[in-house]
Amino acid sequence: MVILKEHTELISGSLGDIEIRYHDGEYHKPLVVVCHPHPLHGGSMDNKVVHTLIKAFASLGLSTLRFNFRGVGQTTGEYDKGRGESNDLLVVCQWLRHRHPQRPLWLAGFSFGAYVALRAHQKVKAEQLCLVAPPVSLYDFSKLPEVKIPWMVIQGGKDEIIDPDAVADWLESISPRPYVVWFKEAGHFFHGGLNLVKDAVIQAVQRVLN
């Protein structure tokens, strides 16, 4: 069992401070940045799904970074409908690449964080993408960049916030499709099923690393 050793610090963003929490993994393995859910609805880097993703990646030796979007915790600014949050993500990725310029960078996100990760993945030059409960019914996904890198989507079939049918229709419209893990009985926050999410991510990452 890997003990998750994270340290918290403030880095400089376009508006001021960005609060990050970083775990240093094995030097030869990828870096992954995880984006949190909606700032106006209690979303932060302390979210349980975000923490589950962090644990999954860290258990396989990846370095992980989670951070608070503008207006959350100690991060300067206020909610900006995904635009400013995408810039926050870019700053965080630049900080991480400066520390580890030779290592692959992956992105992951939950709910609103999945939207931001998808929105910015090309700009930050991510090499892998993991989206959990992407908010397809809440934002216009038709205008987001096409995904040309390996990626996966995890979705609950009884999501009470994001319409699962909208997610299914969106997935059907994409070619080639991402690797999809669909938990028929899971709600938006995967209550009682976080270990299933963790195991799904671990299995997918192991296929990549091996």
pLDDT in 10s for each residue of the chain, 210 residues: 567 899 999 999 999 999 999 999 999 999 999 999 999 999 999 999 999 999 999 999 999 999 999 999 999 999 999 999 999 999 999 999 999 999 999 999 999 999 999 999 999 999 999 999 999 999 999 999 999 999 999 999 999 999 999 999 999 999 889 999 999 999 999 999 999 999 999 999 999 998
CA dist., res. 160 & res. 58, Å (int): 29
**Number of H-type helices and E-type strands within the chain:** 5, 8
Question: Is 1 a member of any domain?
Answer: no
The Cα–Cα gap between 168 and 25 comes to: 34
DSSP state of 120: H
In a domain, 149, yes or no: yes
Amino acid at 113: G
d(CA 57, CA 62) in angstroms, rounded, equals 6
The residues with which 191 forms a beta bridge, in sequence order, are none
Selection from 11, 5, 31 nearest residue 126 by Cα: 31
- C-alpha distances (whole Å) from 5 to each of 2, 8, 25 are 9, 10, 9
CATH number at residue 155: 3.40.50.1820
**Cα–Cα distance measured from residue 205 to residue 202, given in angstroms and rounded to the nearest whole number:** 5
CA distance 67 to 34: 8
Residue 47 lies in domain: 6-209
Q: Is residue 120 part of a domain?
A: yes
Q: What are residue 113's phi and psi, to 5 degrees?
A: -65, -30
Question: Considering its fold, how many domains does the chain have in total?
Answer: 1
Q: Is residue 87 part of a domain?
A: yes
